[in-house]
Structure formats: C-alpha cells, structure tokens
Amino acid sequence: MKFFVDTADVEAIAELNDLGMVDGVTTNPSLILKSGRDIIEVTKEICSIVSGPVSAEVVALKAEDMIAEGRKLAEIAPNIAVKVPLTWDGLKTCKVLSGEGKMVNVTLCFSANQALLAAKAGATFISPFIGRLDDINLDGLELISDIREIYDNYGFETQILAASIRTANHVTQCALIGADVMTAPPAVIKAMASHVLTDKGLDQFMKDWAKTGQKII
C-alpha cells in the first residue's frame, strides 16, 4: 500500500519523506488555507520534496474552467496529479486531462457508481471519503470494498486512494481490503507506531536497565 500524506505543511512532509513514509501528497483548498501560503508556491515546494504524485485541486465548477485550471496546475511539476471533484463537469475534465497524459485524482467520491464513472473517464486515482461517510452512519470501509471488487471485476487501472482517514484502524482495514493508496494527516500516520504494549514493554526494559547500572556509551 502506498502512503500519501494529506497536508500542505512542508515541514511535516519533509520529516515523513526522510523516513520513507511518503509515496505522494494530497492537498485541497482547505489545506492550502491552513498553510497560509500561495497555492502555486507551496505546491511547487512540495513537488521538490516528494518524487511521487502531488495532488493539487482545481476550484472552478464548470468543465471549461476546470480544464484551464488543471492545465495551469500541471505546469508546476511533472508529478502533479490534478484533483477534480466527482461531478459531471469534473468527469468531463478528467476525460480531457487524462487524455492529455496528465494524472487526475477524482475526489469527493461517496458511492461505487461514482467510482465506476471515474474509472470510465480515465481517472488515475479515485478518492472515496471514509470518515465523512462514517460521520453520517454509513460504512466508509464497505465503499472501499465495493470499489475494489468492481475494479477487479473489469480490470480498471484506476487506483483506489482511500481518503478522509481518521484513525490508524482505518489504515489497517483499507490495507486488508486492498486499497492501492491511503492518504492521511501526519498525526494519523505517526499514530500507527503507537501501541500500549510497546509502551509498557519499553518502560519495563528501561527500569530493568537502570538497575544494572550499566551504560552502552
């Protein structure tokens, strides 16, 4: 499973990238706002840090304008994946940009039918939102499973990019289902290393080591 980090915080991206924990980055208008930086400037810096796909999202609503924005964003770096919403205009944009050889990430997916349309339109990635479905008492992980089965049935090459991941358990379940990629905030990725028994065992080791009165260095 590939790990994308869902942030526009370049320091957090660099830290995870140095550990080999970043295969790509996803951003959106909300994350750009949080960064407080110009979208072109910060996206270009992220692309200089990460060699994998970096999703940069269009903000227009009509296909003609989305296509123009997508082409502009794609000029930032060769590893840009243009992010478009799963609307009819977004699908039109996906078809055009993917036909031009650009990577396209179709986002805000909440149904298997939407994912099927995105694959037909040539999406590089489909981003189903797990957490937001869970928020309204629907099973986000079930959606990942449904998309996996449909794509496997027909040999679609669109990669399932599990998004809106809130917990380390979401990551585990997505990996078991067979999502190609997951994107999560830095804090969720770091939380994957935590386990109460690891902490308990380390604490005991430290207490026993102190009793030996020894030093390694």
Element (H, E) at 97: helix 88-99
Q: Which pLDDT belongs to residue 10?
A: 97
Q: How many residues does the chain have?
A: 217
Give the model's pLDDT for residue 55.
Answer: 98
| Residue tagged active-site, from 34, 44, 62, 83 | 83
**Residue 83 among the catalytic residues:** yes
> Rounded to whole angstroms, how far apart are CA atoms 14 and 88?
36
DSSP 48: H
Report the mean per-residue pLDDT for the chain: 97
pLDDT digits (tens, 9 = 90+) for 44-56: 999 999 999 999 9
**Angle, CA 2 vertex, CA 99 and CA 47 arms, to 5°:** 65
Strand 159-162 relative to strand 181-184: parallel, antiparallel, unpaired? parallel
Domains of the chain and any CATH numbers = 2-212 (3.20.20.70)
113-166 per-position pLDDT tens digit: 999 999 999 999 999 999 999 999 999 999 999 999 999 999 999 999 999 999
